[in-house]
């Protein structure tokens, strides 16, 4: 009789969306998984604040056009969604040439046509140059600034045309790809954590890992290569900054955005805009209680704004732009405020690809010596949380030796 092979041990550092995706996938494949999370709760940037105002700290929407939607749905992890009422869809406003409009400039509509958006944009040309050739500079600048809702970058037009076009296409697709889990991202994280727990994943919160050497001993394999003792392969599912320090690897860098964030609760006023997009400069404000009334107490509305800021701008500069849009789209908001919070997201909004680069040029998933990387700035395709998901699946596949052509492509990006 053959002895039963013991399950492969696997360690995940970071209990956010990428870490939980990796833990669930590995456990489903039969691995014995341990997750280390430094915070007292799981979720990472996908946490939803506790209390009367349920603000999201990470991405606000799930896009149903990506593989992570199918993966979550197959495991019943998405849960109830908060659909946007038809009346609210008519309350989208666009800030262009200093005034609010209901419709985008005609030239921008031409740029967003299926014919033009279906034609792949080049990687080695910036979006503003490419889009100007397609529809003129006014349309190009407006489209670039609208794309900031999925970019969190102060100068979207300077990025790779292929990169911006994909996000613009996904953000403007009809019917919309973006969907909102009722109760915020915490509801999805809670279901993922429960799934992991039921699969036998050991989850250690308040467990900060400062060194891989402290986490595990290392030994020498039969061919002189390092192997992990006790923990098996390690998947680092942290921010890129944290991974750089943990792995002592200065190559783990990639451009991201720097964004001023403004959360507001205001007393309800009939006629408030659902969302205001700034086409004159990157910026977006959305009333999230338009689709999910559970996010704020009765009689109040929850607004969340993100305004990308440049290297020499301050948070106050972004907040000033936010307040200007609030004056236009939410009359009397200053007298209706019941709660307010400001923050700056620096390097916490996913990768952006400069001209001449694509996702394949970002830090590779396979770091060698049984260490793998997952997160939203890693070499994996997708939009925002999709990058975390795809990199997590690639990391598990490589860590457990199930190497398909796709995961090898991710490894050697």
Q: Tokens 């680092």 identify what position?
A: 236
Q: Kindly report the backbone phi and psi dihedral angles of residue 397, in degrees, each rounded to the nearest multiple of 5, phi listed first.
A: -60, -45
123 close to 356: Cβ distance less than 8 angstroms: yes
pLDDT at 345 over 70: yes
- What is the value of pTM for the model shown? 0.91
Give residue 349's pLDDT band: very low, low, confident or very high (50, 70, 90): confident
CA separation, residue 373 to residues 14, 41, 231 (Å): 11, 21, 16
List 260's β-bridge partners, or say none: 307, 344
Average pLDDT, the chain: 89
pLDDT-wise least confident of 26-40, 172-186, 262-276, 333-347: 172-186
Predicted confidence at residue 261, as pLDDT, reads 95
**Distant-in-sequence, close-in-space partners of 247: CB < 8 Å, separation ≥ 6:** 212, 236, 367, 371
Predicted confidence at residue 230, as pLDDT, reads 62
Which fold, 9-79+184-253+356-411?
Answer: FAD/NAD(P)-binding domain (3.50.50)
Predicted confidence at residue 357, as pLDDT, reads 98
Predicted confidence at residue 115, as pLDDT, reads 78
**Mean pLDDT within 101-128:** 89
Q: Tokens 């040029």 identify what position?
A: 361
Predicted confidence at residue 407, as pLDDT, reads 42
């Amino acid at each position: 009789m053959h002895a039963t092979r013991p399950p492969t041990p696997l360690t995940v550092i970071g209990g956010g969306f990428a870490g939980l995706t990796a833990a669930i996938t590995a456990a489903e494949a039969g691995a014995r998984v341990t997750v280390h999370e430094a915070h007292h709760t799981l979720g990472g940037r996908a946490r939803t604040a506790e209390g009367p105002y349920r603000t999201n700290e990470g991405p606000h929407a799930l896009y149903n056009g990506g593989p992570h939607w199918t993966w979550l749905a197959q495991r019943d992890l998405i849960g109830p969604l908060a659909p946007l009422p038809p009346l609210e869809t008519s309350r989208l406003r666009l800030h262009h040439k200093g005034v609010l409009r209901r419709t985008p400039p005609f030239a921008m509509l031409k740029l967003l046509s299926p014919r033009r958006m279906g034609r792949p944009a080049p990687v080695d040309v910036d979006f503003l140059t490419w889009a100007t050739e397609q529809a003129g500079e006014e349309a190009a600048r407006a489209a670039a600034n609208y794309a900031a809702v999925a970019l969190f970058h102060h100068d979207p037009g300077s990025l790779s045309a292929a990169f911006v076009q994909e996000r613009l296409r996904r953000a403007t697709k009809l019917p919309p790809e973006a969907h909102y889990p009722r109760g915020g991202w915490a509801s999805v994280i809670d279901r993922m954590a429960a799934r992991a727990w039921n699969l036998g994943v050991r989850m250690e919160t308040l467990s900060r890992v400062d060194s891989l050497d402290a986490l595990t001993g290392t030994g020498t394999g039969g061919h002189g290569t390092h192997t992990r003792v006790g923990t098996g392969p390690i998947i680092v599912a942290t921010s890129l900054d944290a991974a750089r320090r943990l792995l002592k690897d200065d190559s783990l860098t990639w451009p991201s955005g720097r964004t001023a964030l403004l959360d507001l609760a205001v007393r309800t006023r009939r006629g408030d805009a659902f969302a205001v997009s700034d086409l004159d400069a990157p910026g977006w404000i959305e009333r999230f209680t338009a689709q999910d009334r559970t996010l704020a107490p009765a009689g109040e509305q929850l607004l969340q704004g993100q305004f990308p800021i440049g290297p020499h701008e301050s948070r106050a500069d972004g907040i000033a732009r936010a307040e200007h849009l609030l004056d236009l789209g939410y009359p009397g908001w200053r007298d209706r405020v019941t709660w307010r919070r400001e923050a700056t997201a620096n390097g916490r909004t996913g990768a952006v690809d400069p001209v001449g680069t694509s996702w394949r040029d970002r830090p590779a998933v396979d770091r060698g010596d049984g260490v793998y990387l997952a997160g939203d700035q890693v070499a994996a395709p997708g939009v925002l949380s999709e990058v975390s998901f795809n990199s997590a699946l690639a990391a598990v596949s490589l860590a457990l030796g199930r190497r398909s052509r796709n995961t090898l492509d991710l490894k050697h990006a």
